[in-house]
Amino acid sequence: MHSDVQRILYSEQELSAITDRIAEKINEDYQGRQLVVVGILKGSVVFLADLFRKLTVDCTLDFMAASSYGNSAVSSGEVKITKDISTDIRNKDVLIVEDILDTGNTLSYIKKYLGSFSPSSVKICTLFDKPCRRLKPITPDYYGAAIEDLFIVGYGLDYAERYRNLPYVGVLKPETYNLTV
């Protein structure tokens, strides 16, 4: 375990089981449909790679980069798209894949933005849902686990671009991100 991690919240095995469960449901729901999976960079990459390999439906992959955090532990509330999709999503089903749904600022913005291109549907898949921090009225269509108000890292989740490479999800020690708790 990394020295900045207080405790492991989800092991590699638990994350694999979560991904299996989500992929199975997506495969059921999108059978016979044309799905465009849109990964939100950078946090979703590890989860997305594992999930995408487990999808058996007809699907393509694209990416967006958007953030309201920067190098802070707290969302600024202002969403910036720094990389847009290149796929024509008109009349296709879109599944946004994200690492965590926290305040909802970023995903609300992205869902509305992608909806403006006339897709058949836009749904959200997130590894973690943190409803206690929600500022926007948004819920994920697929999620791995609901978590309490903890600062988590690993398996793609970061703090100031660090810890994404941890193979598990752990709770970051508060003194690492200098917040009063």
Identify whether 102 is a catalytic site residue: yes
Check the CA dihedral 122-50-142-158 and report its sign: negative
Which is catalytic among the residues 102, 129, 141, 158?
A: 102
Measuring CA to CA, which residue among 2, 34, 30, 31 is closest to residue 125? 30
Contacts for 125 with CB less than 8 Å, ≥ 6 apart = 22, 26, 51, 95, 96, 97, 98, 140, 141, 142, 143
| Sheet containing strand 152-153, strands side by side | 5-10, 169-172, 152-153
CA dist 141 and 98 (Å) reads 12
For 63-91, the DSSP string reads: EEEEES-TTSSS--S--EEEE---S--TT
> Among all residues, which ones are annotated catalytic?
102
